Amino acid sequence: MARPEPAHHGTEPRDRAAAPGIVTFKELQDLCRPNPADPRPRLSTVERWARRQGIKFRYDGDGGIFTTLDAIDRAIRGGDSGANDADPPVSDMI
């Protein structure tokens, strides 16, 4: 009989396979920290970094955020303002 998964209390986002084109919170943490030897940044740090970069994102329900490769590409090209108040629906991001 399979054991139930332990309860998640929001302290650390769960590791799970993301759909193609999705950039997970863990991946965003890696992208925004300047030195890989440093500890992973907190959610507030990653949010602030993403906003400054113009990357639109959504909250993942596990204590983190996620985005898409397309959103990162648009931010790099400068095609979006990065404001999260007029985001498209999640279904448009996937």
Q: How many domains is the chain partitioned into structurally? A: 1
Could you list the residue range(s) of the whole structural domain that residue 49 is in? 22-82+89-93
The answer to whether residue 64 sits within a structural domain is yes
What's the pLDDT score for residue 7? 46
pTM: 0.66
What's the pLDDT score for residue 34? 86
The answer to whether residue 1 sits within a structural domain is no
Tens of pLDDT along 50-89?
A: 999 999 999 999 999 999 999 999 999 986 444 455 555 5
Burial track 18-45 (b if 16+ CB lie within 10 A, e otherwise): eeeeebbbbebbebbbeeeeeeebebee
Tens of pLDDT along 30-53?
A: 999 989 899 999 999 999 999 999
The answer to whether residue 12 sits within a structural domain is no
